[in-house]
Amino acid sequence: MSTVKTASTVKTASTVLITGAAGFIGRNLAAHLSEQGVRVFGVDNFCVPPTGPLPLPVEHRDVRDLTPEDLRGVDTVVHLAALKSVPGSFHDPANLTHNLGTDHHVLAVFAASDARRLLLAGTCEVYGQQVGHNREDDRLRPRSPYAVGKAATEMLADVYRSLAPEKEIGVARFFNTYGPDEGADAVVPAFLDAVHEDGVCRIEGDGEQARDLTHIGDMVRMLATVLAADRLPEVVNLGSGQATCVREIAERIIEIAGTGRIEHVASRPNEIHSFLADMGRFRALFGAGPGRDLSEGLAAAHRGRLLLTARRDAEPTATAR
């Protein structure tokens, strides 16, 4: 179980706007905060249909259309909306320009609004190829257009901190998050789907690349803890502090499912060998981080994936609202 210290609410009187609220992390965070009694509303352009139920109404809207007036009455903005495909960013220049333009727009609208705090979604991808634990003060070495855009967003955050010093702007650098209703393009759901489709877990490269995995339940608790702080940290890692190689992830899923095999395919361009979160800053600020056992989390993700598949099969024509 998680050992994250979670405050009872973000702020009892707070209103939180989540962009990308129909996404994997967005909808789970919305549900968690709502359960704590926080007023939450969200926007999303639904360019990617949600793979799980939405816990609250989400306005179908492009984040780039938000105005300062839309933030009237909002205390905190959590900006999660993004095109997050790392491989896709090599082939589609719009990935970088869309994300950076959207992030810039949100920063500008926030600075001109009455909202007090903005938490931006960062990524471990900005660290690039480094040895050992990734610390927040490490030099950024992005190795994909997606990561370049996220590094630039962090620089823009610094610009707006100087333009609006009375406000708080934080960056949460997400490491790999997994769970039952994650999009099929991520490593864990891809393997979970594979073992029950053609039975083949296809690993890009040798499978020795390591990833720091955090269950979605632990991730939203960490996010809620950050949001409950008296002041947002300028940059903080959100991960487990443990790395598992992709081959081992596939092997554990095959064992849990009781079926499947591994097949190796071509490596990704500029594949990062290892991501491993240094959680020292998080622990210093908030206490212990997530403690969920990976095998337990993968087993729960497997059960959830089976339920998700059954639900889709039962409602083949259902559409997200």
Give me the tens of pLDDT residue by residue for the chain, a chain 321 residues long: 344 444 444 544 589 999 999 999 999 999 999 999 999 999 999 998 888 789 999 999 999 999 999 999 999 999 999 999 999 999 999 999 999 999 999 999 999 999 999 999 999 999 999 889 999 999 999 999 999 999 999 999 999 999 999 999 999 999 999 998 888 888 999 999 999 899 999 999 999 999 999 999 999 999 999 999 999 999 999 999 999 999 999 999 999 999 999 999 999 888 899 999 999 999 999 998 777 889 999 999 999 888 877 777 776 554 433
- The answer for residues whose C-beta is within 8 angstroms of residue 309's C-beta and 6 or more apart is 193, 196
| Burial class, 81, CB count within 10 angstroms (exposed 0-12 / middle 13-18 / buried 19+) | buried
Has this prediction a pTM greater than 0.85? yes
Q: Please give the CATH architecture assigned to the domain spanning 15-176+214-241+273-292.
A: 3-Layer(aba) Sandwich (3.40)
Burial 256-286 (b: 16+ CB within 10 A, else e): bbeebebeeeeeeeebbebbbbbbebbeeeb
How far apart CA 279 and CA 219 sit, in angstroms, is 13
